[in-house]
Each structure stands twice: as C-alpha cells, then as structure tokens.
Amino acid sequence: MNMVTEQDIRALLQARGWRQAELAAAIGVSQPTVSRWLGGQLPDPLAQERLRELIGGAYANMPALRPGLQDSGPGRPSPARDLLGERDLAVFAAVEGGPGDLVVSTDPIDIVPRPWFMGAVRDGFAVLVVGESMVPAFRPGDMAIVNPRLAPMRGKEHIFMQESVDGGFIATIKHLRGWTEQEWLLRQFNPPPGGQEEFSLPRALWRRALRVVGKFDG
C-alpha cells in the first residue's frame, strides 16, 4: 500500500482549495500536526488511511483545482503567479485570551504565498483570527495580513499588541478611529456581551499598532 507523502498532502490542499486547518478538521488532528507532515514527517497509519480516502476515495468527485489557480503553461499568463509571490509569509495562530483579546503564538504555524501587495515587505506576517468582535470585517478563521512598516492610520483596521509575561504577545484586532497621546480610540463591529462598540486602550500598555492591509478569507 502506497504511503501518503508530503507531496501528496500538498497536492490535496491545492486540489481542494483547503488550508491546513481545514485538512486537520477533516482528519481529526491538530493544525500543527498537518504542518509537521508538510515538513516531512509521515502521518500515522490511521491518518494515512483517512488521507487516502480524501485523495482518491470518498472525495473523488470533488472539483480539482479551483478556477484561476491552474498553471497556464509556458508563455501564458497565470493568475496564481501574478497575484501570489513566494511562499514565505508566516502565519501565527491565536487563541482567545479574553473578550476581544488574542494570545498569539511566538512560532508560525504555517507559511503561505505572499500576496502581490506585500511583495517587498519581507517582515510582514499574518494572524489567524479567532473571536467574533470584528464580524463582518473579520470572521473566525480569516487570516489578517499585517504590514508592520506602515504608520497607524485613522479609519483602518490594526492589530494592537502588548507583550505578555511568557515572552509571547497579546493582541487585539480593531478599527482605529483615532488616538491621543495617552489612548488608542477604537471601534469593534460586533461587541461581546457587556462590551461597547467604541472604546479606548492605553498606549502605555498597547504600544504597537500594526496596520492590517488585507486578509485571506477563512
């Protein structure tokens, strides 16, 4: 029986248009496990069986490559090549650390293609959104793409950050209405129970405001 390899898993992700988290959910494993498979670790026998089903069994009738993502061949334009750059944009996971707050991992959980508007921003990254405080602008599972080189701008979404005691960082994604010397003036579109749509955060604690410049839909 053929073993499912890293190349097989990458082909499955591309054919289904899935992210690692979606594949992990389909198999019943964690996303970091899928990441390890893509790094060369072989899945265990139970996961191998499930992967084979996804590749050629129960899901055989699912569509192949999504329209617009096929390689157009030599000398022909390819939307995938035009819109996406090198696969080097780090994605960081987050878990809810409180109403509207995220505790963000210090190590990337995935590396995805860089969108065209981030072509020269090598220190850019993405954060996997959890929580619903910014619905409909950002929903759970979306990837918020961050350009850390840009200055804060009124009327834009930003990720506000503070360091945590364990060396990681706590973050929150919010709409920036403005600021004073002491405070960030923010808006959230879908406040949690007991929360307010408009509020402020102290700049002495939330020192960094990183502008969100796009997203990958979850």
d(CA 135, CA 120): 30
Q: Which amino acid is at 213?
A: V
202-212 average pLDDT score: 94
Render pLDDT for 164-197 as a digit per residue (tens, 0 to 9): 656 568 889 999 999 999 999 999 999 988 889 9
Q: What would the CATH number be for the domain defined by 82-216?
A: 2.10.109.10
pTM: predicted TM-score of the whole model, two decimal places: 0.61
- SS3 readout for 109-133: CEEEEEEHHHCCCCCCEEEECCCCC
Taking CA 121 as the corner, what is the angle to CA 100 and CA 75, rounded to the nearest 5 degrees? 120
The domain spans of the chain are 6-56, 82-216
User: How many angstroms separate the CA atoms of 70 and 5, rounded?
Assistant: 22
Question: What's the pLDDT at 1?
Answer: 56
**pLDDT, tens digit (0-9, with 9 covering 90-100), for 27-58:** 778 888 888 888 888 888 888 888 887 776 43
Distance, in Å, from the CA atom of 117 to the CA atom of 154, rounded to the nearest integer, reads: 20
